[in-house]
A and B are shown apart, each in its own frame.
Chain A
Amino acid sequence: MNAKNAAPETLEAVFLRDRARLLGFLARAGAGAEAEDLMQEAWLRIESQRGREEPDQPLSYLYRLLHNLMLDRRRSEVRSARRDTEWADISGGSVPGTSEEPDTDRRMIAEEEIRAVHAAVTALGEPTATIFRRHRIDGIVQRRIAEELGLGVSTVEKHLRRAYAALLDWRSMRDEA
């Protein structure tokens, strides 16, 4: 899986070499007419990082970059279609075209959402909640979490699946409500 990176290639070189593959990835992910536009946006990001340290795995970095750009677009579409649960508003991440200052009620809902998500994670019980937080928020790999908690990797995986399934179900139910 992990190719040894003797001399990692630059992001730019990999982007240009694997352009067709990455564009295909966006198409398969359902980007449709936005695919070229997303490639352009990714290129601008890469250019703005020129001179900084190159990532160890440029190809997986590029996949993630495109994936996240696509995710950002989807989220802001959903957000503007769902005015009343704008929890990103109070984090300072402004969405173009919406007001900077959330009104009182939107602010209340945002606070409530934050409380509700924290509560929903706590409600998973232990060790599931801790495993989820370590994985999703702290970015720790499953193997490390297993070592920390003295559990088997497969047990950690089971808890993670349960946590994600419960939280994502809970989240989409709230959206539909």
Chain B
Amino acid sequence: MTDANNRIRQEALDWVIRLRHADAADWAAFDAWLGADSAHADAYWPLATADADVAAALAQPLPSAEVIALEPVRKRRWLAAALLPIAASIALAVGLWWTLAPGAIPDTVFETRAGETREASLPDGTRVALNGDTRLVLEGADPRRVRLERGEARFAVVHRADAPFVVSVGAAQLHDIGTVFDVVRDGAAVRVAVAEGAVQYREDATSLRLNPGDSLTRGANGTIRTARIAPADVAAWRARRLTYDQVPLELVAADLARATGVPVTLDTGLAGRRFSGGLHLDAPPEAVIARAAALMGVRARRDGTGWRLSER
């Protein structure tokens, strides 16, 4: 940048500040400055636009979902096998740690407690958001392979044609095709929903392509069902709400437990019942669960530290 450009930029910046509390004389001076050189307006407007954007964002409250910088739980395979299961929680940025890791790269583990949500960037730039009570493992050597051991994660994948992003979830693998998608794992049960792009679901001989608005539920017994979901409702838990269209109550109960941090179980009589509707999570757990029960038409009662849903 030349000295003249630099000076003009400084002056433009001064005007952005000064015009915040300008009287008529200030405005006349600003007008004269603009008139002195057409480069002045060219320098001023981008700064004024950036200033307005910054102010608009600052005027917004921070989004309601609590987001804490991820502290990966580092776990060394050889250490775990040979010595003792140290799963020390070490506050280290993933990227930093990646470059420092010598030789064979051990797995990196991300964990959240129930009721807690977290977001992070993976080394390849993929954004991941973790719902409560979730455990996600980055497989050491390959930054494009992750394993969802339990819970729910939403991925916004940086697509690379030469290196598909693969999520292992139980017996299945999900291959992204440039994608935003959400995955839930509850034991052997899996639910996938796609907001953008596409995901290839693979399990043994099964291979299904899921497009935006498609969701897939794999029951604990291996049965696979597909359904539709509004793309805007994929990973709605990130905005502290849950949306369902004909979803078994077992899965709703599991979602509530993940989101509130309180165990929610189901009477066997309710097994197989389905729910359609939207739930908000911005309230204390007992209020969230009471409202959800009312909407689902079931009764919620205390059960030890948690809640049990039963026929009303």
Binding site for B on A (CB under 8 A): 1-3, 21, 24-25, 28-30, 57, 59-60, 63-64, 67, 71, 74-75, 78, 87-88, 90-91, 101-105, 107-108, 111, 113-118, 121, 133, 135-137, 139, 141-142, 160-161, 164-165, 167-168, 171-172, 175
Contact = CB atoms under 8 A, between A and B. Distances in A.
Given A60-B27, A135-B20, A168-B16, A30 B41 contact: yes
B49 A167 contact: no
B42 A30 contact: yes
B57 interface: yes
Given A115-B67, A137-B55, A164 B13 contact: yes
Contact of B53 (A57, A87, A108, A139): A87
A2 B26 CA distance: 10
A31 to B, nearest CB: 9
Given A121-B58, A141-B21, A171 B53 contact: yes
B267 interface: no
18 contacts: A2-B23, A63-B30, A71-B49, A74-B48, A75-B52, A87-B53, A91-B59, A91-B60, A102-B232, A104-B232, A108-B180, A115-B63, A136-B54, A137-B59, A139-B21, A161-B14, A161-B17, A168-B51
A169 B57 CA distance: 16
B191 to A, nearest CB: 16
Contacts of B231: 103-104
Given A28-B31, A104-B235, A107-B239, A71 B52 contact: yes
Contacts of A101: 232
Interface string B254-271: 000000000000000000
Contact of A118 (B17, B21, B58): B58
B17 A28 contact: no
Nearest to A165: B13
A118 B63 CA distance: 11
A110 to B, nearest CB: 9
A122 B234 CA distance: 31
Given A75-B52, A165-B13, A117 B180 contact: no
B57 A164 contact: no
Contact of A168 (B13, B41, B156): B13
Interface in B13-66: 13-14, 16-17, 19-27, 30-31, 34-35, 38, 41-42, 44-60, 62-63
Contacts of A137: 55, 58-59
Nearest to A120: B54
Contact of A63 (B22, B55, B127): B22
A55 to B, nearest CB: 11
Given A117-B54, A118-B62, A168-B51, 6 more contacts: A1-B26, A30-B42, A104-B233, A115-B63, A136-B20, A167-B54
